[in-house]
Amino acid sequence: MSPAFDLAGARVLVTGGAGFLGSRVCDALRAAGVGPIRVPRSHTSDLRTRAACDLAVQDIDLVVHLAAKVGGIGLNREKPGELFYDNAIMGLQLMEAARVAGVRRFVTVGTICAYPKFTPVPFSEDALWEGYPEETNAPYGIAKKALLVMGQAYRQQYGFDAVYCLPVNLYGPGDNFHPSSSHVIPALIKKVYDAQALGRDHLVSWGDGSATREFLHVDDAARGIVAVASHLATGEPVNLGAGFEVSIRELITTIARLMEYRGEIRWDSSKPNGQPRRQLDISRARAWLGFEARVPFERGLAETIAWYRARPLPVEEPTS
């Protein structure tokens, strides 16, 4: 498969490149033979300002835009305005700065929160505009989806080489386990760990367990994003997923088994489930990029659990 963009020696900007996914993407880019990689840090380069964006893209060939303000259902409910503004303004200004600076390719890493709440499963990229996203994460999802529109508009008007991918829920060693902003797998691992540490005979999980999710190991996601950077030859979006669906009930049962927790799992149905189902159609990624996930799910979960056990956060008493 011939590349749409030659990575060899390319000068690269990776926003969010010091983070959970970004650090893996930088490693995968180095393995692909890129040149110097620039990783702006939020404490010295606030990409919500145009000046910081202008500075970040100087003398850059390829931008991989990963930086995002993101979290689980709790953060989405608490700070929807911040999630919309911060994610939208970063992407809008960065892409415009990149166009003006003559950046040769711009990769936006979107989110499956952009899909409509009741998207037919598996989610096809063609269904992105067939409804409104699930309400709790709509501000974040719409902000990121706006960058797909911007990239396509810039491709049409300016010939700007913007491409876009939508990774499914990520997990793996090094994930964010902070309870106020973590996603479902690290949140459940911490919940089980804390219940064990406190000697509790039960734990409480949000919703009723019926919602389903698909999970992609962070190392697979990094490979997929590099494949997008080098091989995606169109402005049409492409899903990056693992090709399976698991319910939250099955997920926490599996985590409890792997962690040898034998307490009861109770459900707080007064709390939201989030989007009812998630599983991606990954046929485009396979056909256009030659990409498929490699890490078996239980092996990835076991690695993530082992990583957390070696460096746990303080144990917290449950609030319910």
Q: Which residues are catalytic?
A: 140
Tell me the helix, strand and coil percentages in the chain, rounded to 5.
Answer: 45, 15, 40
Mode of pairing for the β-strands spanning 212-213 and 246-247: antiparallel
Q: Per-residue b/e over 135-153, b at no fewer than 16 CB within 10 Å?
A: ebbbbbbbbbbbbbebbbe
As given in the structure block, the two tokens for residue 82 are 């911040």
Structure tokens at 221: 């996601």
DSSP summary character for residue 313? P
**C-beta separation of 239 from 284 below 8 A:** yes
Q: ω into residue 36 within 30 of 0, thus cis?
A: no
Cα 234 to Cα 5, 78, 110, 270: the distances in Å are 11, 36, 16, 43
Q: Extract the runs of DSSP E, i.e. beta strands, from the chain.
A: 12-15, 37-38, 62-65, 105-109, 162-167, 169-171, 202-206, 212-213, 215-217, 238-240, 246-247, 264-268
Of 286, 70, 66, 305, nearest to 171 by C-alpha is 305
Name beta bridge partners: 169. 215
Closest CA to 103 of 27, 39, 13: 13
Query: What is the spatial distance between Cα 281 and Cα 279, in angstroms, rounded to a whole number?
Result: 7
Side chain identity at residue 65, one-letter code: H
